[in-house]
Amino acid sequence: MFDIEHADVREAVVRALAEDIGGGDITSRLTVAEDLTAHGSFLAKQDLVLAGVELLPLVYGARDGAAVQILQASGAKLQKGALIATVEGRARTLLECERVALNFMQRLSGVATLAAEHVAEVAGTKVKVLDTRKTTPGLRRLEKMAAAAGGVTNHRFGLFDAVLIKNNHITAAGGVRQALEKTRAFEGPVEIEVRTRAELDEALDCGAQRLLLDNLTPEEAEEWVRYINGRASTELSGNINLQNIREYARAGSDFISCGAITHSATAVDISFRLELEDL
């Protein structure tokens, strides 16, 4: 689930370590003997959906190295107190990598946990929950992996892998028909946002295959989906959250996209406990 071989992932880990450690962990150098060995445990301090644990070997491997044992995989639903992973090596290495390791797992598990909550809310309906591009700059690949770990379906990764014609594109192109005509040669997926019934009818007349219905009320969404009647797949977005997503899901749309899954996820509580090796 987590592609730790991807260059974006490795770059994120290296960048995070350089940001935190810089020229060296002064506190550990001054207070911890150079040859002291220790082992540590990562523990869930709350119920959560885990994500990012596979990054641990990258984090420690980028420094002096350590023996990492991963006991839970991304996507696992853990209860408070669950043991996630252990690490063994030089005490200085374990200490200098502690915060980066925790930052990644806490943030990514927060995304996965929130994603899973959204998915649970639409259980029993046909809708698939999508993430968006509303991600932390530089961490999109990791956050989308975390969203997938929570059961969400990844939407397009960036501006380069799918066409999504939004209202400003329609304005710049001169209208719905003109915008769709300009994308005919593109062989990948094409989706268009429609804001009015007139735009909806025009998009359908032009053979649009996927429609983005933005900022509708649940009642409006149900009416529009019923009117479309399967002539195109539909995605709902805009002001959808945990409190109302099930209401929107009942409208019968194929997809619901939620930016909050990545832009508003709260980091979960994971702790690291260091213990000295038995003498």
- Architecture label for domain 123-263: Alpha-Beta Barrel (3.20)
In terms of CATH, what superfamily is 7-119+266-276?
Answer: Quinolinate phosphoribosyl transferase, N-terminal domain (3.90.1170.20)
Confidence band (pLDDT; 50, 70, 90) for 278? low
The pTM for the full model equals 0.95
Which contacts (CB < 8 Å, 24+ apart) does range 16-23 have? Answer: 16/100, 16/103, 16/104, 17/59, 17/62, 17/63, 17/97, 17/100, 20/99, 20/100, 21/63, 21/96, 21/100
Contact 63, 96 (CB under 8 A): yes
* Residue-level pLDDT at 277: 73
- pLDDT, mean of residues 271-276: 96
Burial classification of residue 164, based on how many CB atoms lie within 10 Å of its CB (0-12 exposed, 13-18 middle, 19 or more buried): middle
Domain assignments of the chain as residue spans, ordered by start: 7-119+266-276, 123-263
Tell me the pairing of strands 270-276 and 163-165: unpaired
Confidence band (pLDDT; 50, 70, 90) for 2? confident
Q: What is the pLDDT of residues 149-179, one digit of tens each?
A: 999 999 999 999 999 999 999 999 999 999 9
Q: What is the pLDDT of residues 72-105, one digit of tens each?
A: 999 999 999 999 999 999 999 999 999 999 999 9
Contact 145, 6 (CB under 8 A): no
Burial classification of residue 278, based on how many CB atoms lie within 10 Å of its CB (0-12 exposed, 13-18 middle, 19 or more buried): exposed
Confidence band (pLDDT; 50, 70, 90) for 279? very low
Residues assigned a catalytic role: 99, 134, 166, 193, 214
Strands (E), 71-216: 77-78, 83-90, 128-130, 163-165, 190-194, 210-214
Answer yes or no: is pLDDT of 14 > 50.
yes
Using DSSP, state whether 159 is helix, strand or coil.
Answer: coil
Tokens representing 253 are 């749309």
Question: How many DSSP H helices and E strands does the chain contain?
Answer: 11, 12
Tokens representing 36 are 């002291």
Percent of the chain with pLDDT over 70: 99
Answer yes or no: is pLDDT of 1 > 90.
no
Contact 143, 169 (CB under 8 A): no
Buried b (16+ CB within 10 A) or exposed e, 2-41: beeeeeebeebbeebbeeebeeebeebeeebeeeeebbbb
Same fold, 7-119+266-276 and 123-263: no
* Residue-level pLDDT at 233: 98
* Residue-level pLDDT at 103: 98
Cα–Cα nearest to 116, from 177, 51, 161: 51
Q: What is the pLDDT of residues 203-212, one digit of tens each?
A: 999 999 999 9
- pLDDT, mean of residues 129-141: 97
Using DSSP, state whether 266 is helix, strand or coil.
Answer: coil
